[in-house]
C-alpha cells in the first residue's frame, strides 16, 4: 500500500513521550518492553484514527503530523483517555506552524517548538501552543499557563493546557529547563551537552541515558538502528553521538559506517563508538583522519561511571577518548625501525595514556608522580618520535595517532 504524503504548508505537529521512562525501565526491568509496546500501540492507533501521519518513533517518543489542529487534539485526547489508568503516563505537546518538509521528515524551529512544549508537560497533560489554540478558533476549553522562555527558541512561548473533563486537570508547574543565560555566582551557567544515543538494546540504551542524564547531559534523541541515528543527528544537531558499533539489520559494522558519515557530514558533532570487543582495525578506520572529537570505548567501561561520563564530555568538547585496551594494541604494534623501541617503559605508559586523551594532570594522578615529571616525559616522547609541535589542545593525541597510522 502506498504511503499517503505528509501534509505541507500549515501543519500541526504532535510530540508525545512517557514521563520518567528511565525510572520505569529500572522498576520494571524486562517487563518494560511490553509496557512500551502497549503504549506505542495506543498512540499509533489514536494518530491513525484521527487521520495523522507518524513521522518518527524512537524509544518512547513519537512524532506525528496532522493537516488540521483539531485532528491532532482529537488524537491526543483519545490517547490520554486510554492511557489514563495505565503504568505509562504520556505527556503531549502540540504546535501549529509551517515546518520545512524534506522527504519523510520535518525540519525547522516549529519542530523544536513542538518538542519543547511536550518536554515542559507532565504525564497525562496535553499542552498547546498559542498558534494551535488560534487554529482551533476557540472551540475547546483551555487553561492559560503563561508565557515562558523555552530553551533554544528565539522568542518566549505562550503555553496552554487543554481542559478535558474526562482527563486529569491539575498538574505541577511546567517542567521548564533553566535558561543557560541565567547567572549563578556572577558567572553564566553552561548549557548541558546534548547527546544522541544509538543502541539496539532498549534496556542498555535506557540505562546509559539515565547515567548521562544524572551526570548533567541532555539526551535529546535515542535510536535503535543506523538510519534512526542519522535522522536524530540531522534533526537535533547534538554535541555528541554515542554509537553502538554493531546494529541492525546485520549487526556487523552499521554503527561504524554511520559514525564515519556523521564525522564527514556533521563535523560539529563528536562521535564516541561503543564496542563489545576490542576491534583495533575499526578504531583505526574511525580515526583515519583525525582524533578531534572522536572516541572508541569498550562497553565494559560504562560501569566506571565517572570515567565514562568524563570520556563523553571530553569527546563532546572536541577532545578524544580511546579505550586502554585498544590503545595497548595500537601502541604494541611492531614495525621495522620502530621508534617506540627507543622509549623507556615509563614513557610508553605515558604515551598510552596520552593516546587515551588524558591530560598531563590526569596522567600524573594515574602514575602517582608530579605533573612536572609528566611534562618532561612528554617532551622526550615527542623528541624521540620526531613529532613537530602543533597547537596545544589536541596536538598530543593527534600526533600520537598520526604516528600509529604510519
Q: Report residue 306's pLDDT band, with 50, 70 and 90 as the boundaries.
A: confident
319 shares its domain with 204: yes
* Residues in Cβ contact with 355 at an 8 Å cutoff, skipping those fewer than 6 apart: 322, 327, 330, 331, 397, 400, 401, 404
3 in any annotated domain: no
Region of residue 216 (left: phi > 0; alpha: psi -120 to 50; beta: else): left
pLDDT tops 80 at residue 63: yes
**Would you state the pLDDT for residue 187?**
39
Domain boundary among 115, 137, 172: 172
Q: Can the peptide bond before residue 249 be classed as cis, meaning omega within 30 degrees of 0?
A: yes
* The C-alpha cell that represents 329 in the structure block: 594494541
- Higher per-residue confidence, 387 vs 59: 59
Least confidently predicted of 71-75, 76-80, 307-311: 307-311
266 shares its domain with 380: no
- Higher per-residue confidence, 45 vs 384: 45
Distance CA 26, CA 14 (A): 27
CA distance readout (Å), 238 to 48, 105, 213, 270: 31, 18, 14, 8
Distance CA 129, CA 119 (A): 13
- Higher per-residue confidence, 87 vs 390: 87
Domain carrying residue 388: 333-405
1 in any annotated domain: no
> Are the C-beta atoms of 168 and 85 separated by less than 8 Å?
no
Domain boundary among 310, 328, 346: 328
97 shares its domain with 243: no
204 shares its domain with 296: yes
CATH code, domain with 64:
3.30.70.1230
> Are the C-beta atoms of 195 and 316 separated by less than 8 Å?
yes
Least confidently predicted of 1-10, 133-142, 183-192, 388-397: 183-192
49 shares its domain with 167: yes
Distance CA 161, CA 169 (A): 9
pLDDT tops 80 at residue 191: no
CATH code, domain with 382:
1.10.10.10
**Would you state the pLDDT for residue 393?**
42
Q: What is the mean pLDDT of residues 346-357?
A: 77
Q: Report residue 69's pLDDT band, with 50, 70 and 90 as the boundaries.
A: very high
Q: What is the mean pLDDT of residues 228-247?
A: 89
132 shares its domain with 279: no
314 shares its domain with 360: no
Structure-derived torsion over alpha carbons of residues 313, 316, 317, 320, reported in degrees to the nearest 10: 80
What is the domain count for the chain? Answer: 3
Amino acid at each position: 500500500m502506498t504511503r499517503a504524503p505528509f501534509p505541507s504548508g500549515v501543519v500541526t505537529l504532535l510530540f508525545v513521550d512517557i514521563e520518567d521512562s528511565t525510572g520505569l525501565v529500572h522498576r520494571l526491568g524486562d517487563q518494560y518492553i511490553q509496557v512500551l509496546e502497549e503504549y506505542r500501540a495506543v498512540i499509533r492507533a489514536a494518530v491513525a484514527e484521527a487521520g495523522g501521519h507518524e513521522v518518527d518513533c524512537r524509544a518512547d517518543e513519537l512524532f506525528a503530523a496532522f493537516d488540521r489542529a483539531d485532528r491532532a487534539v482529537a488524537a491526543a485526547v483519545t490517547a490520554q483517555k486510554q492511557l489514563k489508568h495505565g503504568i505509562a503516563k504520556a505527556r503531549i505537546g502540540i504546535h501549529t506552524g509551517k515546518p520545512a518538509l524534506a522527504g519523510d521528515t520535518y525540519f525547522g524551529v516549529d519542530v523544536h517548538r513542538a518538542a519543547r512544549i511536550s518536554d515542559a508537560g507532565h504525564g497525562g497533560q496535553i499542552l498547546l501552543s498559542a498558534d494551535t489554540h488560534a487554529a482551533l478558533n476557540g472551540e475547546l476549553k483551555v487553561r492559560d499557563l503563561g508565557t515562558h522562555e523555552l530553551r533554544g527558541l528565539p522568542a518566549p512561548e505562550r503555553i496552554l493546557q487543554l481542559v478535558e473533563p474526562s482527563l486529569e486537570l491539575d498538574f505541577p508547574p511546567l517542567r521548564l529547563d533553566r535558561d543557560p543565560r541565567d547567572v549563578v555566582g556572577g558567572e553564566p551557567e553552561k548549557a548541558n551537552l546534548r547527546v544522541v544515543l544509538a543502541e539496539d538494546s532498549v534496556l542498555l540504551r535506557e540505562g546509559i541515558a539515565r547515567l548521562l542524564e544524572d551526570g548533567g547531559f541532555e539526551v535529546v534523541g535515542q535510536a535503535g538502528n543506523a538510519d534512526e541515528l542519522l535522522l536524530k543527528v540531522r534533526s537535533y544537531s547534538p554535541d555528541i553521538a554515542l554509537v553502538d558499533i554493531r546494529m541492525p539489520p546485520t549487526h556487523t559494522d552499521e554503527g561504524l559506517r554511520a559514525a564515519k558519515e556523521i564525522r564527514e557530514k556533521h563535523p560539529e558533532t563528536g562521535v564516541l563508538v561503543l564496542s563489545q570487543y576490542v576491534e583495533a582495525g575499526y578504531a583505526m578506520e574511525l580515526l583515519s583522519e583525525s582524533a578531534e572529537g572522536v572516541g572508541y570505548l569498550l562497553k565494559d567501561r560504562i560501569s566506571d561511571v565517572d570515567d565514562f561520563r568524563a570520556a563523553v564530555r571530553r569527546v563532546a568538547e572536541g577532545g578524544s577518548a580511546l579505550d586502554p585496551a585498544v590503545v595497548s594494541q595500537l601502541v604494541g604494534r611492531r614495525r621495522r625501525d620502530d621508534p617506540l623501541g627507543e622509549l623507556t617503559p615509563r614513557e610508553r605508559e605515558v604515551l598510552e595514556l596520552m593516546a587515551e586523551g588524558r591530560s598531563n594532570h590526569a596522567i600524573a594522578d594515574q602514575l602517582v608522580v608530579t605533573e612536572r615529571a609528566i611534562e618532561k616525559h612528554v617532551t622526550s616522547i615527542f623528541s624521540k618520535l620526531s613529532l613537530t609541535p602543533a597547537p596545544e589542545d589536541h596536538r598530543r593525541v593527534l600526533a600520537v595517532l598520526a604516528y600509529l597510522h604510519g
